[in-house]
Amino acid sequence: MSKPDCLIFLEWGARMDCNYLVAGGSPSTWPFPMLEQHFTRYLEGLKREHHIPLSLELWNGATVDLVDLPRVRLKVKSAAAAKLLMKPSLGNLAQAYIEGAIEVDGPIADVVGIADQLAGTGGDRSAEKRHGLPQWLGRHTRSSDRKAIQYHYDVSNEFYSHWLDPRMVYSCAYFRTGTEDLATAQTAKLDLICRKLKLLPEERLLDIGCGWGAMVIHAASHYGVRAVGITLSDQQFELARERVRAAGLQDHVEIRLQDYRDVNDGPYDKISSIGMFEHVGLKNLQAYFRIIHNLLREGGVAMNHGITAADVDSRGVGRGVGDFIDRYVFPDGELPHVSLAIRELTAAGLELVDAESLRRHYALTCEHWSRRFEQSLPALRTIAGDRQVRIWRIYLAGCAMGFARRWMNIYQLLAVKSGAETAGLPLTRDYMYDR
C-alpha cells in the first residue's frame, strides 16, 4: 500500500534543514503544490488526537483552533514555517520564534508548555546523544571559555538588573516555604552556603565564578572572611568592584578578572563555586576539582553548586533543547550527571561529605525570573533588542518547566580535603540550618 501524500510530505520535511525555513524559503520551491491541504489535514489530525490549547493563524489568513478555548495563538508567517509544526521539536520551534518565522501571543509559561506538547506529538522524548567525536573535543580552552562567558553575561548589567534580585544573584535561590520573595530566597541561599562551609572570621575564601559579587560581599560582611572573587566577564568584574567599594569592604574583598586555572595564591580555607562548573566541560571536570583540591589547605572545605544532567550518561535533554541552548544561550555549556561529578571530585582527592538536590528550588527561582522578565519587556527590548529578548523569554520559561519536570537537576556538593575530621565538621548536619 502506498503512503498518503501528507505522510510522504512529512517524512520529506523531516530531512529539510531548519535554517532554510527560518530564512523564509519560498513555497514555490517545494515539491508538493498542495501544501495548504496537507497542512490542514495535519492540523485536523492534531485536533482529533491531541488536546492542545492552541489557535493557529496561517500565512493565507485562515485560522484553525485546536480546542474551543485556546490559551495561546500562534501565527505561521510563511508556508515554509509550516514544516516546523508538522515535525516539531522544542529546538526548532524556539529557533523559528527567535528568528521571526512564527509569532506567539499568550502567557510565556503556556507558550513553552504548548511547544512541549507539540514536540511530544512525535513521541520522541529521548535524551540527546553524542554523535561522532565528543562535542567537547577541542573546546574549553582559556580563550574559548572567556568568549563563551562574555557572550552570555556581557549582554549588559542593566539587562540583568531588571529581572534578578537587587543583589543580582544569578543562581538557584533557596526557599523554606516557597512563598518567599526572590530577594529573601537568594539571601537565604547565600547564607546556607556560608553555613555549610562553616565560614569563620579571617578565613580565606575563594569564590570561583563570583558573578556580580553577592557571595563574597555577603561572606565578608556577615562572617568576617577575607574573600577573593574571580570572573571572566568584564561587566561583572567592573560592577562587582563597585559594589565592594560601596559596601566598604575593600580591605576584605578582592575581585579579579581571572580564569580559575590561573589562580596560584593558595592555600584557601574555603572555596565556593556557584553556578560555574556548567562551563567547565566534561573532559575537564577532574582537572577542575584537582585545582580546587590543590588550592585548599589541609582540612579545607569546598562547595560546588551547579546544574546537573538527569541522564546518567550526561546526555542532554533532547528534542533539540541542547542545540538551542548551545547556539543561543550558553555556548560550550555541558551538564554532567551528579554521579559523574562525584566520581571526578573523588578522583581528584576530595571527600564528599554532603549532597543536596535543589531542583524544586530552581524551578521556583526560574519562575520568579521569568515573571520579572515578562514585567520588564519594554525596557529589556530597548536595552538588548527584540531578538535577544525572544531568546531569554524562551530560555527562562523553558528552564522553569524543565526543572519542574525533572529534565535536569541541581546539586550542592560539599567536599573536604584530608577528611571531615581534619576539617572539624560536626557529626550531624544540624550546623547547616541552625543560625
Q: Residue 211 above 60 pLDDT? A: yes
Q: What is the pLDDT of residues 239-253, one digit of tens each?
A: 999 999 999 999 999
Q: What is the pLDDT of residues 146-174, one digit of tens each?
A: 666 665 556 899 999 999 999 999 999 99
Q: Which of 6, 18, 210, 399 is catalytic?
A: 399
Rounded to an integer, the average pLDDT of 416-420 is: 94
Contact 281, 314 (CB under 8 A): no
- CATH fold label, 5-120: Nonspecific Lipid-transfer Protein; Chain A (3.30.1050)
Single out the residue of 291, 277, 321 nearest to residue 410, CA to CA. 277
- Residue 149, pLDDT score: 62
Here the cell at position 169 is: 544573584
Rounded to an integer, the average pLDDT of 306-326 is: 85
Q: What is the pLDDT of residues 116-151, one digit of tens each?
A: 999 887 655 555 544 333 343 446 666 656 666 665
Rounded to an integer, the average pLDDT of 312-334 is: 80
Q: Residue 228 above 80 pLDDT? A: yes
CA pair distance 363, 356, nearest whole angstrom: 15
Rounded to an integer, the average pLDDT of 202-206 is: 98
CA pair distance 287, 238, nearest whole angstrom: 28
CA angle 50, 54, 56 (to 5 degrees): 115
Exposure letters 258-287 (e unless 16+ CB within 10 A, then b): bbbeebeebebbbbbbbbbbbbbbbebbbe
Here the cell at position 418 is: 584530608
Q: What is the pLDDT of residues 73-131, one digit of tens each?
A: 999 998 888 877 787 888 889 989 998 999 999 999 999 999 999 988 765 555 554 43
Q: What is the pLDDT of residues 290-305, one digit of tens each?
A: 999 999 999 999 999 9
Confidence grade of residue 429 (pLDDT, cut at 50, 70, 90): very high
% the chain with pLDDT above 90: 69
Give yes or no: 399 in active site: yes
> Mean pLDDT over all residues of the chain?
86
Helix 234-246 × helix 214-223 angle, to 10°: 20
Q: Residue 314 above 80 pLDDT? A: yes
Q: What is the pLDDT of residues 11-58, one digit of tens each?
A: 434 334 444 444 444 444 444 446 677 888 888 889 999 899 999 999
Q: Residue 9 above 80 pLDDT? A: no
CATH class of the region 142-432: alpha beta
- Residue 306, pLDDT score: 97
In the chain, where are the structural domains located? 5-120, 142-432
Single out the residue of 183, 175, 182, 215 nearest to residue 199, CA to CA. 215
CA pair distance 220, 218, nearest whole angstrom: 6
Here the cell at position 300 is: 579545607
